[in-house]
């Protein structure tokens, strides 16, 4: 019974991490679109573009971290 409960908790954690990963991937797409739009509007917006690129890099790092956590959860299952 305890093992089944732990397996259930593990599956819930995995699903939560997958949902978080999907949200982060969507955020990456939004940031990439924002960069494209800014470049089209005014190529002199380098400061804003750099800010968005930093946000994008932070989001990518978060996605990679979540992906690693999902991998570890899958290994445990």
Q: Summarize pLDDT for 28-55 with one digit per residue, the tens.
A: 899 889 888 877 777 667 777 788 889 9
Domain containing 30 equals 2-76
- Distance, CA of 44 to CA of 25 (rounded, Å): 27
CA-wise closest residue to 45 among 55, 29, 53: 53
* Total-model pTM: 0.49
Query: Looking at the 3D structure of the chain, how many domains does it have?
Result: 1
Averaged pLDDT of the chain? 84
> Taking 80 as the threshold, does the pLDDT of residue 5 lie above it?
no
> Taking 80 as the threshold, does the pLDDT of residue 77 lie above it?
no
> Taking 70 as the threshold, does the pLDDT of residue 4 lie above it?
yes
């Amino acid at each position: 019974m305890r093992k089944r409960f732990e397996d259930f908790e593990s599956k819930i954690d995995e699903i939560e991490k997958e949902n978080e990963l999907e949200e982060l991937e969507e955020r990456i797409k939004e940031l990439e679109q924002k960069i494209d739009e800014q470049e089209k509007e005014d190529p002199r917006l380098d400061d804003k573009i750099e800010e968005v690129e930093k946000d994008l890099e932070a989001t990518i790092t978060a996605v990679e971290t979540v992906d690693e956590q999902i991998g570890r959860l899958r290994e445990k299952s």
